[in-house]
Structure 1
Amino acid sequence: MKKLVFIVLFLGFFTAKMHAQVMAAKTQTVVIKSANLRCWTCKEKLEDYLVRENEDNMQSGMLKRTYNLLAGEIRIQYLPDRVSVDAIKTAINNAGFDADSTLATPDAYKLLPPICKRKEEGGGPQKGKPCHIEPY
């Protein structure tokens, strides 16, 4: 009886571990640079847009998003069978932000607050006023 319990526990553990490895193998990560993603306000605007877009048009393919505001980049863990890197970049562009070499759509970019504009247009952190720190 003890052997049977041991075998069942071992198989249960082995199956769970294999399932976790299969799930991990399906996800991929992409890092996307954005010249106008430098402050907390920009992060919140982009995150709000991506949450809606993920639910509505991407079959919940984006699993996790991590922002590095000092570097102006976003790291996205996604499921490639549900969403492509090009679709993710298009969503970022449609939110008004640049994504690597693709520029934001002009209409969406116009709607961004001044601080979220590109540096050459006066956006981003102002001298003596860091905006990459969480305001709460």
Structure 2
Amino acid sequence: MRRRSHHPLAVLALASTLLLTGCGGTVSSTNGDDVESVVGRWSSDEKGEPHLNFTEDGKVGGSDGCNGIGTTYEQDGSTVTLTRFATTLKACMGVDTWLREARHLEIDGETMTVMNGDHEEIGTLTRD
């Protein structure tokens, strides 16, 4: 009778642990410094609760409080650039849709400064 080894299960558990350990809350900038990762949900208490949710695979989903937002991002240190930006275009009374103009983001701790394509500040979000 052949004895079954638990070795493959142990290897899988170790690999999973190492993979999860590598998904921490920091990324490296181009100069090698560790900086805060953008991954996670960022939001505002404004009417409509605008928010963005960043995933580890470079995708962003969210809402400006009225319209759905879908895009991708690239992070270099504390600077994040949104690319291939798409949004719905519903008209919502009383909701400021500033977030759909977001193109550049700057992370400082738990605060994200949101800027338009001209690098002008248009608002802020905080990490949830």
Q: Which bracket does the TM-score occupy, shorter chain normalised?
A: 0.3 to 0.5
TM-score, normalised to structure 1, is: 0.33
Larger radius of gyration: 1
Q: Which has the higher contact order (CA 8 A, sep 6+)?
A: 1
Q: Would you tell me which structure has more helix in proportion to its own residues?
A: 1
Q: TM-score, normalised by structure 2?
A: 0.35
